[in-house]
Structure 1
């Protein structure tokens, strides 16, 4: 084990030892480095549930690609709050592919619900389970308080979220470049890339966050000069949100430093 990987593992251990049952982590690097902690325990997903929905839309072989070009029309009653921009815009007709882009780039809840209606929650859930995402449960739309009161929840594990990230960047069957563009330029960058995102450095981070009360997640793909790492960090029940955010940021910073060191060794 190299000094760089030893230091990275120290950061993982320090964070997980501090938060114990309140955190889950899975990280898998292109060089074989890996770390897991509570990674197979499903947690409330918040907006990470948008990753398996994206997986379904782009990788279900039974879907006709032309469906992504179809137009979805909606009315005022279908608009929900929380994150997103459709609630602020006047347009009521959007192409499915654009709704998917909004679902990822600004985590738009209305766009997500329209996609769930378009494809069907049950169909999405069955397909993602058939792909091995057995720790994922999609049972309700975003901001559906009535469904929450009835006990229907959306859950995902760090392992399942990380599996989708790895599928997106697969060497053999990657997602379209536009999906990667949505993630690279998405608007929530205060978690895994939070400590270095505005700095000049060689690491690129493609990520998708999720948050609810006492819940903060981030799933991301880090790249640096041919080296990469897929990582998902999920936190739940941490009263002091700044501590949760700092834990996620410290992991992201450690991964960036690790990849930079790996890259420099090969120069």
Structure 2
């Protein structure tokens, strides 16, 4: 018979040996896990991609992003009212199509261009069309979006009313989205104080993204009208903002705006992981050069590139920063 004391000593030694082995195994597993973590870092989040771009820009920035398939979002100063420049022509198009659906305007109606209608800036009507020429309202809308034609915009505003866009946007839940006057015609302003503060138009990044989401979901007008508006946005010829940051052939339906101290862009980008609504607003920019690599243009392109990259990676890390 084995003495009780001997059995006790053996049990103690076995327990100590088991503890030592467990410690060694645990340390080995911990070391391996650490090595794996270093070898395969977690995917960057949308926040980690965008915040360095925002910090580096010398000016005020507001950004809103939403993946319309997954619901993933990013917001930076999304509710802050900022100038739109010509980006406000997108809501003007929405109002024109809504009025057409209600029978208030006829998209095929011919508009006669008068000499006094011509204003400077972007577009082709002022320099390449003669007083007395006629175009259809739908063609004026197309020029307003495609080449951001200022004269065409004013013709559209004559047809639908300057204050109509703001009234409709407010009734639909976009109270900060307003065009204030005709382009280069501050004397026509229906919101004089906002004209002084923001220029041609005003909005927030959040409202622009929600408006784009509603357009994508065919909630702004009939499905066919929404599809036509998206097609108009796909003709936008500003290649210095979103398109410059995207792979060749990426489908993007967007509108932009540019004035001395502000650069803006908003649109729908087809990414591998779903259609994304994106808005970038900049103002009070230090770089006021009228060159393709203006810092505001570059920021718009860089944000679009970062967003596309994020929604191209498998298992994108979620982000809901505000």
* TM exceeding 0.5: yes
The separation in 2 between residues aligned to 1:164 and 1:252, in whole angstroms, is: 18
Does residue 170 of the first structure (1) align with residue 217 of the second (2)? yes
- 1:223-245 deviations in Å (ceiling 9; x for gaps): 13561100000000111253322
Does residue 24 of the first structure (1) align with residue 62 of the second (2)? yes
The separation in 1 between residues aligned to 2:95 and 2:315, in whole angstroms, is: 34
Contact kept, 8 Å, 2:60 with 2:285, in 1: the verdict is yes
Structure 2 counterpart SS, 1:52 = helix
Shift of 1:55: 1.4
- 1:97-153 deviations in Å (ceiling 9; x for gaps): 1111111011011111111111111222212211111012322111124458x6534
* More divergent stretch after superposition (152-161 vs 255-264): 255-264
Contiguous gaps of at least 5 residues in structure 2:
1-40, 289-293, 317-322
Question: What residue number does 1:68 align with?
Answer: 107
Question: What residue number does 1:83 align with?
Answer: 122
Give the structure-1-normalised TM-score.
0.86
The separation in 1 between residues aligned to 2:161 and 2:105, in whole angstroms, is: 17
The separation in 1 between residues aligned to 2:261 and 2:93, in whole angstroms, is: 25
Q: Cα distance 1:177–1:65, how it changes in 2: closer, same or farther (>3 A)?
A: farther
Give the structure-2-normalised TM-score.
0.72
Q: Cα distance 1:214–1:21, how it changes in 2: closer, same or farther (>3 A)?
A: closer
Q: Paired residues, what number?
A: 258
| Pairing partner for 1:243 from 286, 295, 299 | 295
Does residue 101 of the first structure (1) align with residue 139 of the second (2)? no
Question: What residue number does 2:151 align with?
Answer: 110
Does residue 254 of the first structure (1) align with residue 306 of the second (2)? yes
Q: Cα distance 1:101–1:189, how it changes in 2: closer, same or farther (>3 A)?
A: same
Q: Cα distance 1:25–1:189, how it changes in 2: closer, same or farther (>3 A)?
A: same
Question: What residue number does 2:175 align with?
Answer: 134
Structure 2 counterpart SS, 1:10 = helix
* More divergent stretch after superposition (17-26 vs 250-259): 17-26
Q: Which has the larger radius of gyration?
A: 2
Contiguous gaps of at least 5 residues in structure 1:
none
CA RMSD of aligned residues (A): 2.6
Does residue 194 of the first structure (1) align with residue 233 of the second (2)? no
The separation in 2 between residues aligned to 1:64 and 1:3, in whole angstroms, is: 54
- 1:32-90 deviations in Å (ceiling 9; x for gaps): 11011111111121101111111112235862186111111120111111111111223
Structure 1 counterpart SS, 2:207 = helix
The separation in 1 between residues aligned to 2:58 and 2:285, in whole angstroms, is: 11
* More divergent stretch after superposition (28-37 vs 62-71): 62-71
